[in-house]
Copies of this chain bind each other. A is one copy, B any other.
């Protein structure tokens, strides 16, 4: 596959013209390895510290055309977003993220600079929590996909699962909700130049607040909101064999979101209750409220109604993102 030259005349180096091994070299030189890395990229596998004697592990896959569009998001944006999805899952288990490995599939004609920007985004998002990109695999495919596996260390604590919510606990949210959904709506309506559209391109995850809260043992249960607040708290309720009642009036609707909703003539509540890509943390607490947490509901005994619902509003029809439904 020969190099292409863009209409503007700029010379473009594609993945195929660069070749796999030089591409890997280009990417590896952009990474920075933290203290948890025992063996970094370049061998059959990486070796990462797991001082706790256990390792937390999770994977998320982002696919072009489903989770991002190249005309809306840069390679850097996609790197940030892909890393955030997995890092937030590690934090939601109560662990400190240590490392990422990345499976990257892309068309042979993709510009090398896009892949480099992706690596930069992965590196920078990981750096927010002190984690490093330690390995990966690159292969050709018709569309871009990025599979990020993240690891974490529990520092001797129990993992914070979905199954620990107790009747009487308060239900709390840490971090933005509704921003990514609002940003996507702006992009879909041709308003991608608004600052809020960046919330779709890459989330701003409340890692520090969530890490501090889990380190202090604040949560009885915790999830990363990836399918939507109602759907994910529904998972908590089911796993904990309790019911959850949310107060719609307590859900924070930030000014930026209210303004975008007004402009688009849309009720912002659906974004806040069912939007997924902000990677907020939702959980239950029995003791002191952790810093940055907003109380949005309470845990009640199971039975006598749906496992999740609102006391002051109908539950949204779209209870979360189903990747294979056509709706």
State the A residues within 8 Å of B (CB).
1, 14-16, 18-21, 23, 38-39, 42-63, 65-67, 88-90, 92-93, 95, 99, 101-105, 108, 134-143, 145, 147, 149-152, 154, 159, 161-163, 222-224, 239, 322-326
> Which of B43, B60, B324 is within 8 Å of A108, CB to CB?
B324
Also in contact, A322 and B21, with CB within 8 A (given A42-B239, A224-B44): yes
8 A-B pairs with the lowest CB-CB distances in the bound complex, closest first:
A45-B58, A103-B147, A147-B147, A50-B50, A149-B149, A61-B103, A16-B324, A44-B92
Q: Are A15 and B324 in contact (CB under 8 A)?
A: yes
Q: Are A326 and B16 in contact (CB under 8 A)?
A: yes
Residue contacts A-B, CB under 8 angstroms, 21 given:
A20-B323, A20-B324, A20-B325, A21-B322, A43-B162, A44-B58, A45-B150, A47-B55, A47-B57, A53-B53, A57-B151, A60-B103, A61-B103, A63-B140, A66-B140, A108-B326, A137-B147, A138-B323, A140-B323, A147-B149, A149-B149
Nearest opposing residue in chain B for A152, CB measure: B45
Also in contact, A103 and B59, with CB within 8 A (given A143-B143, A149-B149, A324-B20): yes
| Chain B: minimal CB distance from A118 (Å) | 14
Residues of chain B lying within 8 A (CB to CB) of residue A42:
162, 239
Residues of chain B lying within 8 A (CB to CB) of residue A162:
42-44
Q: Are A39 and B326 in contact (CB under 8 A)?
A: no
Q: Are A39 and B159 in contact (CB under 8 A)?
A: yes
Residues of chain B lying within 8 A (CB to CB) of residue A16:
324-326
Given contacts A57-B101, A58-B101, 8 further A-B contacts (CB under 8 A): A19-B322, A43-B163, A44-B89, A57-B151, A101-B149, A105-B145, A140-B324, A142-B142
Also in contact, A48 and B38, with CB within 8 A (given A43-B162, A141-B63, A147-B61): no
Q: Are B142 and A145 in contact (CB under 8 A)?
A: no
| Chain B: minimal CB distance from A34 (Å) | 14
**Highest count of chain B CB atoms <10 Å: which of A14, A59, A151, A326:** A59
> Which of B45, B49, B103, B149 is within 8 Å of A95, CB to CB?
B45
> Which of B54, B102, B103, B136 is within 8 Å of A47, CB to CB?
B54
Residues of chain B lying within 8 A (CB to CB) of residue A89:
44-45
- Complex formed: what's the CA distance from A261 to B181 in Å? 57
Residues of chain B lying within 8 A (CB to CB) of residue A99:
57
> Which of B39, B56, B104 is within 8 Å of A61, CB to CB?
B104
| Chain B: minimal CB distance from A190 (Å) | 25
Residues of chain B lying within 8 A (CB to CB) of residue A61:
103-105, 137, 139, 147
